[in-house]
Structure 1
Amino acid sequence: MAKKRTDNTDIIELKEGFTRNQSNVSSAITHARTKMTALELKTFYQVSTLIQMNDTEFKEYEISVSEFSKALNISDTNREQVIKLCKRLLRQVFEIEQENGDYIGYTIFSRMHYKSKEQKIAIKFNQDFSPFLLELKRFTKIQQVKYIKSFDSKYAIRFYALLKDYRKMAQRDFKIEALNKMLELPKSYDSYTRFYQKVLKPAIDEINAKSDLYVSEPEIIAKQGKKITEFRLHFYNKSEQMSKDFTTDLIKRFKKWKTFNVFINCYYLTNENDTKPHKIKDIEIDGNYFTLKGGDEYNDSYVIFGTPNRDDFIKKVANGIYYAVNYFYEKEKQEQLPTLAWQDKQDKLREFKNIYESWIKQSIKF
């Protein structure tokens, strides 16, 4: 990124296009109503990767039309399509209902400047939108926006984000009425059968086929008479895919910056059966000999391994980091298990409430 000043405003030039993969947005946005199309949602999440955790204000970003189009898999030769997308994004809103019943609609971008002569686009978020992207305490973490960009359905994008919002859980419950409102669905989708066929099933299939999540078939958990009103989705991270993503990005950064520093502070496991990760503290190069050093609470620096072959060294480091990342993702799955016990307790309370309400209704009749 490079900075230039225009009208006393810093503009960040994205000379290499979008280079970050992670998007952090407020959970309020994940649950908000919006009429955005799949392409508009993809653009929002892609541009949100530019926001960093320590940012306190929005900057203006400038990117070439070709890089912008390539990131979203649209034609950069179709000028009207790109301009039309920019115009639509300026009109789109996220609608958020407050607990007191108040309604607030937020426009997302304050400016989309298509520079015809330079073939560049300048983008800036609306300042009123800052509570949903800046200095977040709780947020939906999308580690790889590429999955969102691979979805054809806007419903797959919305469900993927909703499940990622519960990333430390293993399941999530949904009320059909609330979903219909959130997703701006037609009245006919109040029927679970139609909702499942047109929205839920296609979204689950696409998420399973194209992302780092696996989602089960829905479990029906509540009815009103014969009408299905609530369902549960069980889901889990595909640990191996997420580990591969992390390692691939790391190697890309290494090749781009040509420095071993990208590996420092990563964790390393000797093999897939090892359960004691080493934290990489240093990489020493003595002539043609490469040494990987680790550290822990008992020892500031110790040798993990060394080799005179540079390519072999890089391969072993990458593999060891892959094993470590996979280990932590698998461990995270195990940490989700207590949440299942909590959910069982909630289910029992729900069942008791239903029985109690049914008993009250029967009592009133007599």
Structure 2
Amino acid sequence: MQNELVVKSNQVIEASYRLSVVEQRVVLSAIAKIPKMSEVSDDEIYTVSVQDLQALGVHEKTAYRDLKEAVNRLYERSISLDIDDKLIKMRWVQRIEFTDNQGIIALRFSKDILPFISNVKANFTQYMLSEVSKMQGAYSVRIYELLTQYKSIGERSVAIDDLRVMLDLGSRYKTTGNLIAWVIDPSIEEINEQTDLKVTAKPQKTGRKFTHIKFTIKQKQKPKAQDPKRDPNTVDMFAHITDAQISKYSTILCKLGSISDLSNFPDYPSFANWIGKILRDPESANPIHAKRIFKALRTETDFKD
């Protein structure tokens, strides 16, 4: 799955909207194709193909039908963002095109939404599209985004009223019990099975009333591939880097696309500070993260060890 890094401003992550799971797949697939850290205009057109949807779990026999239906609905969909203490409602897309004989659609994002999904340099959340590719629940994708936003912190407490607004639940699942049974629990089950996160949820009371859901968030460690020719206890990295080098190269590394998916920080300096700690003491870090950072240091900068 190429071009699969999804970047959204936190305002979009926490906005009020409702999309079906196929509509979300279309939006996410198109967002992943937007060039990162560069200005784009609302004249740009992004294509989504049958193959894109199949990679995201849509059955090949219904992929194009689902694609057309999702885009037709998406054309009418809106999203409400809280901007400067104003609630502003805007459309996701302003134009769609169908190419039936090629099994693709093309869409142009609206001018209003584009600043929140392109060239986002601060207060953003990013993740790999493959993390949500197997999910079948629309709420699962939204809750995954809300939790991956806080994965570096390890927990998030969300007011139930706020969660209802974010998920645009309206009058559905009015009781806390129904909300947990029909929205939160199924979403967590999918998140735990399909993504890089391990999550639990616990309702919390204020006085005698349930008012918040507290989520604990842990990142799963992926199995470490072993080179059969090497001693598995050998650490394939180095730690003898000066403070001046750490300062220089962490600033460079934080802007590299090859490791940008490791960031869940609001800005480059915060990401650079985290990278600097790993450069200084790699053995205290997640070994997968450390390996990738040191590989990028060796292969994508002028550092010489």
Mark yes or no: TM-score above 0.5.
Answer: yes
Distance 1:158 1:53 in 2: 22
Whichever residue aligns with residue 27 of structure 1, its letter is N
Residues 99 and 222 of structure 1, relative CA distance in 2, 3 Å threshold:
farther
1:183 aligns with 167
SS of the residue corresponding to residue 128 of structure 1 reads coil
Query: Residues 195-229 of structure 1, C-alpha deviation per residue, up to 9 Å, x if partnerless?
Result: 111111111111111111000242x43324x3211
1:25, distance to aligned residue in structure 2 (A): 0.6
Q: In structure 1, what is the equivalent of residue 129 of structure 2?
A: 145
Higher relative contact order at CA 8 Å, sep ≥6: structure 1 or structure 2?
2
Question: Residue 22 of structure 2 aligns to a residue in which SS?
Answer: helix
**Offset from partner CA, 1:291-311 (integer Å, 9 cap, x none):** xxxx9559x9xxxxxxxxxxx
Structure 2 letter corresponding to 1:22: L
Q: What is the alpha-carbon distance in structure 2 between the residues aligned to residue 271 and residue 89 of structure 1? A: 53
Aligned partner of 2:17 among 34, 37, 41: 34
**What corresponds to 2:32 in structure 1?**
49
1:155 paired residue among 139, 143, 157: 139
Mapped pair 1:121 → 2:81 = no
Amino acid at match of 2:16: R
Q: Give the equivalent residue in structure 2 for 1:239.
A: 221
Contact 1:25 1:141 in 2 (8 A): yes
* 8 Å Cα contact 2:9-2:124 kept in structure 1: yes
Tell me the TM-score normalised to structure 1 length: 0.59
Q: Cα gap change, 1:114/1:68 in structure 2, threshold over 3 Å: closer, same or farther? A: farther
> Is 1:60 matched with 2:45?
yes
Give deviations 1:299-354, integer Å, cap 9, x for gaps.
x9xxxxxxxxxxxxxxxxxxxxxx999415489xxxxxxxxxxxxxxxxxxxxxxx
Q: TM-score, with normalisation over the residues of structure 2?
A: 0.70
Distance 1:157 1:122 in 2: 23
SS state of the match for residue 139, structure 2?
Answer: helix
What's the CA shift for 1:80?
4.1
Supply the AA of the counterpart residue of 1:238. K
Name which of 159, 165, 173 aligns with 2:149.
Answer: 165
Q: Distance in 2 between matches of 1:221 and 1:274?
A: 46
The structure whose residues are more often strand, as a share, is 1
The one-letter code of the counterpart of 1:28 is Q
Q: Choose the corresponding residue for 1:88, options 47, 69, 73.
A: 73
Deviations 1:51-84 (A, max 9, x none): 2322201432345x43234234335555543322
Kindly indicate whether the alpha-carbon contact (under 8 Å) linking 2:158 and 2:213 is maintained by their aligned counterparts in 1.
yes
**Does the 8 Å contact 1:60/1:123 carry over to 2?**
yes
Pairwise mapping of residues 212-361 of structure 1 onto structure 2 (< 5 A)?
212-218=196-202, 220-224=203-207, 226-240=208-222, 273=233, 277-278=237-238, 326-327=286-287, 329=289
> CA separation of 1:23/1:188 partners in 2, compared to 1, >3 Å: closer, same or farther?
closer
Contact kept, 8 Å, 1:180 with 1:189, in 2: the verdict is no
Q: Is the 8 A contact 1:110 1:126 kept in 2?
A: yes
CA distance in 2 between counterparts of 1:213 and 1:239 reads 9
Per-residue deviation at 1:191?
1.9
**Structure 2: how far apart are the matches of 1:206 and 1:146?**
14
Taking the aligned partners of 1:81 and 1:110, their CA distance within structure 2 comes to: 20
What is the one-letter code of the residue matched to 2:95? Answer: R
Q: CA deviation at 1:43?
A: 1.8
| Distance of aligned partners of 1:168 and 1:271 in 2 relative to their CA distance in 1, 3 Å threshold | farther
More helix by share: 1
CA distance in 1, matches of 2:45, 2:231: 45
User: How far apart are the structure 2 equivalents of 1:33 and 1:150?
Assistant: 23
User: Are residues 232 and 88 of structure 1, via their aligned partners in 2, closer, same or farther at CA, if it must alter by over 3 Å?
Assistant: same
Give 1:22's aligned residue. 5
**Whole-angstrom distance in 1 between the partners of 2:236 and 2:59:** 48
Which position in structure 2 is the counterpart of 1:71? 55
Larger Rg belongs to: 1
Equivalent position amino acid for 1:38 in 2 = V
Gaps of 5+ in 1: 1-17, 248-269, 280-294, 301-322, 332-366
Cα separation, partners in 2 of 1:272 and 1:158, compared to 1, 3 Å: farther
Letter in 2 for 1:47: A
Native 8 Å contact 1:43 1:72 kept in 2: no
Query: What CA deviation, in whole Å up to 9, does each residue of 1:96-154 have, x standing for no partner?
Result: 13453x32112122222102344432232222222211221121111x21221211111
Aligned residues: 246
Does the CA contact (< 8 Å) of 2:22 and 2:66 recur in 1?
no
Answer whether contact 1:163 1:172 (CA < 8 A) is retained: yes
CA distance in 1, matches of 2:231, 2:89: 51
